[in-house]
């Protein structure tokens, strides 16, 4: 099994050996993570002049009604058209009252408000659709490239150009795998929050690194591989994440500056090393399995030979 302190020490050493590049790539990750919240804030501020727009529309409606009243004489119209069925119609100046139900004076305002709400909803849906497309086609591959940078940086100082890895060799496969991971995580979260966290943040945690090691593995295979590799490692990984709690508290006290220049690059570098440690444990299990199977086969073969010799002696 892997040692938490050793993983953090290795990650910190790799980060410090390539300090400014690690800081820059970690900042990119921070910006990617906060992109969704930023777009939501922009969408919220766009409806601030709603009251002014509403008043302008109402003024135009009132002007139109006034023009109609000036040009149209309802009494004269009814006198010129005696065949019209006007039972229950009472005349009050230029206003019409049908039966006992008057046409509400606020109908125009209600229609204007409803129209604005419909336009706002459509605008919001379009913004969300564009945000999702950008996230799936741009941000996810960019995040994968950032993971590739920290993964490569463990062996030697990596170049910032590694960030573009997600847009290279197997872009379509990367997009599909990361999209499917997001969908699975969302579905689990919709069921219950805790299973969503366990599945999304822990069971599927290694998907980006698996794609880096095996670009052609395929979406479902990468997700299945991550789930299998994380078996037996979830709780220990949770404790590993919890060990950074003190750093995140200090980050809050420094208004986020400590995260930019130390905590975030340190954590991302250690996360890459964590994947390597879990991968090595997984490989060790598969390497010992054939040995155990061979030993079992040898025991069975010896047993069969012994039984055969005993049968020969009896005969």
- Reported as a single tens digit per residue, the pLDDT across 264-313 is 999 999 999 999 999 999 887 765 545 444 454 454 455 445 444 554 44
pLDDT at 70: 52
- Reported as a single tens digit per residue, the pLDDT across 112-143 is 677 788 888 898 899 988 888 888 899 999 99
Mean model confidence pLDDT for the chain: 77
Q: Which of 31, 41, 29 is nearest to 127 (CA)?
A: 41
Question: Are the CB atoms for 155 and 19 separated by under 8 Å?
Answer: no
- Reported as a single tens digit per residue, the pLDDT across 199-247 is 778 999 999 999 999 999 999 999 999 999 999 999 999 999 999 999 9
pLDDT at 282: 83
Q: Which of 244, 314, 273, 235 is nearest to 150 (CA)?
A: 273
pLDDT at 119: 83
Distances (CA, A) of 221 to 200, 233, 234, 285: 16, 19, 19, 19
pLDDT at 219: 93
pLDDT at 6: 96
89 DSSP β-pair partners:
98
- Reported as a single tens digit per residue, the pLDDT across 81-119 is 666 555 544 444 444 444 444 445 555 566 667 778 888
Q: Which residue has the higher pLDDT, 269 or 46?
A: 269
pLDDT at 73: 59
Which single residue is written with the structure tokens 């069921």? 191
For 125: left if phi > 0, alpha if psi spans -120 to 50, otherwise beta; the answer is: alpha
pLDDT at 38: 47
Rounded CA Rg of the chain: 34
Q: Which of 263, 252, 273, 260 is nearest to 24 (CA)?
A: 260
Claim: this prediction has a pTM higher than 0.75: no
Q: What is the DSSP letter of 95?
A: E
Q: Where are the domains of the chain?
A: 4-39+140-286
pLDDT at 292: 47
Question: Are the CB atoms for 84 and 78 separated by under 8 Å?
Answer: yes
Query: How deeply is 59 buried, as exposed, middle or buried, from its count of CB atoms within 10 A (0-12, 13-18, 19+)?
Result: exposed
């Amino acid at each position: 099994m892997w040692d938490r302190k050793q993983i953090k020490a290795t990650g910190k050493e790799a980060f410090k050996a390539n300090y400014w590049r690690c800081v820059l790539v970690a900042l990119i990750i921070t910006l990617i993570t906060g992109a969704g919240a930023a777009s939501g804030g922009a969408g919220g501020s766009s409806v601030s002049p709603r009251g002014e727009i509403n008043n302008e529309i109402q003024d135009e409606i009132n002007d139109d009604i006034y023009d109609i009243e000036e040009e149209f004489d309802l009494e004269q119209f009814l006198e010129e058209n005696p065949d019209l069925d006007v039972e229950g119609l009472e005349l009050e100046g230029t206003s019409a009252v049908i039966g006992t139900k008057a046409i509400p004076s606020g109908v125009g305002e209600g229609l204007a408000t409803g129209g604005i709400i419909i336009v706002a909803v459509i605008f919001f849906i379009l913004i969300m659709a564009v945000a999702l497309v950008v996230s799936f086609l741009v941000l996810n591959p960019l995040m994968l490239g950032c993971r590739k940078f920290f993964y490569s940086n463990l062996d030697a100082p990596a170049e910032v150009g590694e960030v573009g890895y997600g847009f290279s060799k197997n872009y379509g496969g990367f997009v599909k795998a990361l999209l499917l991971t997001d969908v699975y995580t969302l579905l689990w979260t919709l069921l219950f929050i805790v299973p969503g966290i366990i599945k999304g943040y822990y069971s599927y945690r290694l998907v980006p690194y698996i794609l880096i090691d095996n670009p052609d593995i395929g979406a479902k295979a990468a997700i299945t591989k991550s789930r299998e590799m994380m078996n037996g490692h979830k709780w220990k990984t949770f404790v590993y994440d919890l060990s950074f709690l003190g750093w995140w508290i200090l980050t809050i006290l420094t208004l986020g500056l400590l995260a930019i220049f130390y905590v975030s690059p340190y954590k991302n570098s250690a996360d890459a090393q964590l994947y390597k440690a879990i991968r090595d444990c997984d490989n060790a299990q598969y390497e010992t399995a054939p040995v155990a199977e061979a030993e079992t086969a040898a025991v069975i073969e010896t047993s069969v030979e012994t039984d055969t010799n005993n049968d020969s002696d009896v005969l």
